[in-house]
């Protein structure tokens, strides 16, 4: 059959990035189903189309003609749920999730992943009181539906959907949690899904892999939020691990990546991490011994963002650092 828009998009993507088709559809659908998507066959689950496009860092704009009536109802419900989550209307999200499970096709791993992902987000909503064990459990169950090799992110030209990256971030962020779950393939066997991330080197490797994907294969503006989260998690890990040389390199790369983002809150943490690094190195960024001035400048930039965004907790941390480490009372 003749390839239409999707098929041509895939061909262009392959030529531009030199990736195999299997890297796009692995874990999402079979090769036969992928061929049906390439020819834009109408009798398809639209979530498959959305997810394949997401793996290539693209939105599904312009493919709405492939929606069937039932697909359209589920598609609208997903949009409503995402909007309610952005507005922190968690009661509505919980209610819509129950409705969605009643409507979605049975035995569909992509719809199940969508539900598990949003259940994970609900488990995380409490901040310090978040149910981290539950969030980790849900993240792991969701991730292995499309990335059974999720703990091995070293494959050349590894592709991710934003959802897969956020699930990985959750597992890395809470990797010290004590958690034991049934193996998805062998329910009688108990496994520790976070063991792969407890070593800083493994978690760091996964984060670098995702930054490479974001920088090379996925450069759309709508992915800026997850890009910022990945860079910040990597910088936090490097700082905790005491890898200051790598952290300095990471900071420079993150500043480049953040140049086009709109996540001003992330800039506050980035500048404060840079200030602490300069404080530990006791050296200016240009190699001079005038490190105190530069450290204060970074603190001021972080402080200004925090004050503008009314980030009280972060303001208190910056004040404490300036008082105890720099013997300086910070003020704008």
- Identify the bridge partners of residue 191 per DSSP, sorted by sequence position: 181
Task: Tally the C-alpha atoms within 13 A of residue 203's C-alpha that lie toward its C-beta.
Answer: 24
Q: Which string of DSSP letters, residue by residue, matches 176-229?
A: TS---EE-SS-TTSEE-TTHHHHSHHHHHHHHHHHHHHHHHT---GGGHHHHHH
| Burial group, residue 102, by CB count within 10 angstroms (0-12, 13-18, 19+) | exposed
pLDDT per residue rounded down to tens, the chain (332 residues): 445 788 899 999 998 888 889 999 999 999 999 999 998 887 889 999 999 999 998 887 777 777 787 788 999 999 999 999 989 999 999 999 999 999 999 889 999 999 999 999 999 886 555 688 888 889 988 998 998 755 454 455 689 999 999 999 998 888 766 666 666 666 666 666 666 666 788 888 889 989 888 877 665 555 677 888 899 999 999 998 899 989 999 998 887 777 555 567 788 999 999 999 999 988 766 666 788 999 999 999 999 999 999 999 999 999 999 999 999 999 98
Length of the chain: 332
Q: Which string of DSSP letters, residue by residue, matches 132-152?
A: HHHHHHHHHHHHTTT-TTTT-
Q: What Å distances lie between residue 26 and 8, 51, 146, 157, 159, CA to CA?
A: 19, 11, 7, 12, 9
Q: CA 285 to CA 279: how far, in whole Å?
A: 11
187-190-191 Cα angle (round to 5): 115
Task: Tally the C-alpha atoms within 13 A of residue 21's C-alpha that lie toward its C-beta.
Answer: 15
């Amino acid at each position: 059959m003749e390839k239409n828009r999707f098929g041509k998009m895939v061909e262009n993507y392959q030529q531009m990035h030199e990736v195999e088709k299997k890297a796009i559809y692995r874990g999402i659908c079979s090769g036969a189903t992928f061929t049906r998507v390439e020819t834009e066959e109408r009798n398809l689950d639209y979530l498959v189309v959305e997810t394949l496009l997401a793996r290539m860092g693209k939105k599904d704009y312009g493919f709405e003609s492939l929606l069937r009536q039932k697909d359209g109802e589920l598609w609208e419900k997903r949009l409503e749920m995402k909007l309610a989550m952005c507005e922190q209307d968690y009661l509505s999200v919980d209610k819509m999730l129950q409705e969605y499970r009643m409507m979605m096709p049975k035995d569909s791993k992509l719809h199940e992943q969508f539900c598990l992902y949003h259940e994970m987000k609900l488990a995380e909503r409490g901040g310090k009181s978040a149910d981290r064990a539950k969030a980790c459990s849900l993240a792991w169950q969701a991730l292995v539906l499309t990335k059974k090799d999720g703990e091995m992110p070293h494959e050349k030209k590894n592709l991710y959907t934003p959802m897969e990256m956020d699930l990985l971030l959750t597992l890395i962020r809470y990797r010290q949690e004590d958690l034991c779950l049934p193996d998805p393939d062998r329910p009688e066997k108990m496994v520790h899904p976070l063991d792969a991330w407890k070593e800083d080197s493994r978690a760091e490797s996964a984060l670098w892999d995702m930054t490479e994907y974001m920088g090379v294969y996925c450069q759309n503006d709508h992915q800026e939020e997850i890009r910022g989260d990945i860079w910040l998690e990597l910088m936090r890990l490097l700082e905790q691990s005491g890898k200051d040389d790598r952290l300095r390199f990471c900071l420079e790369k993150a500043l480049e990546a953040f140049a086009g983002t709109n996540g001003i809150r992330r800039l506050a943490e980035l500048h404060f991490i840079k200030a602490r690094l300069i404080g530990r190195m006791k050296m200016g960024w240009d190699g001079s011994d005038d490190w105190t001035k530069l450290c204060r400048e970074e603190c001021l930039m972080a402080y200004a963002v925090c004050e503008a965004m009314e980030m009280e907790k972060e303001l208190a941390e910056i004040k404490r650092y300036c008082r105890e480490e720099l013997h300086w009372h910070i003020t704008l």
